[in-house]
Amino acid sequence: MTDETELTAKQARGQRIRECREWLKSTWPQAFSEPPKPLTVGVHKQIREVAREAGFSGITVRAAFAGWCNRLSYHVAVADGSHRVNLDGSQAEAITAEQQQHARGKILEDRKRAKQQKRNGRRKPAPKATAPATTGKRPTLSLKARHRESKSVQRL
């Protein structure tokens, strides 16, 4: 597989994930709105079943859902919130102190990672191009090539 094909495949996968995220927002606007609300535990199972009927693969749904739930704003909502919500927006179970502490840990990790990226530059530098492997020997001309080269020099 060439780099061009991989890039196209990655772009296509990213597009499918974005489409799935938009589908989540349009299908359950009460649950997938800004600012994000903490979703009830296990809601991904309900989403996966309905998403398959809508034509999204399980992997695409998982990636879209993970992208939603692993955002800094979502972790802040869990850390500061008191209750989770169902897909219809109704109040679900209370957020436990352990879940809030976990979210606070994620917030600290996100901030630490962002600070490190800012210090080191946003992106990793592009890999340096490597020269083709050499044998360590000087290139040599064959006898015929040497002869032709010497004749061309003599003509001048």
Burial degree of 19 (CB within 10 A; 0-12, 13-18, 19+):
middle
Given a cut of 80, whether residue 96 has pLDDT beyond it is yes
Could you tell me the pLDDT band of residue 124, with boundaries at 50, 70 and 90? low
Domains and CATH numbers, the chain: 3-120 (1.10.1710.10)
Nearest Cα residue to 36 out of 47, 20, 57, 21: 21
pLDDT tens per residue, range 81-90: 999 999 999 9
Contact, 103 vs 75, CB < 8 A? yes
For residue 93, the model assigns a pLDDT of 95
Average pLDDT over residues 127-155: 59
For residue 156, the model assigns a pLDDT of 55
Q: What is this structure's pTM?
A: 0.69
Could you tell me the pLDDT band of residue 35, with boundaries at 50, 70 and 90? very high
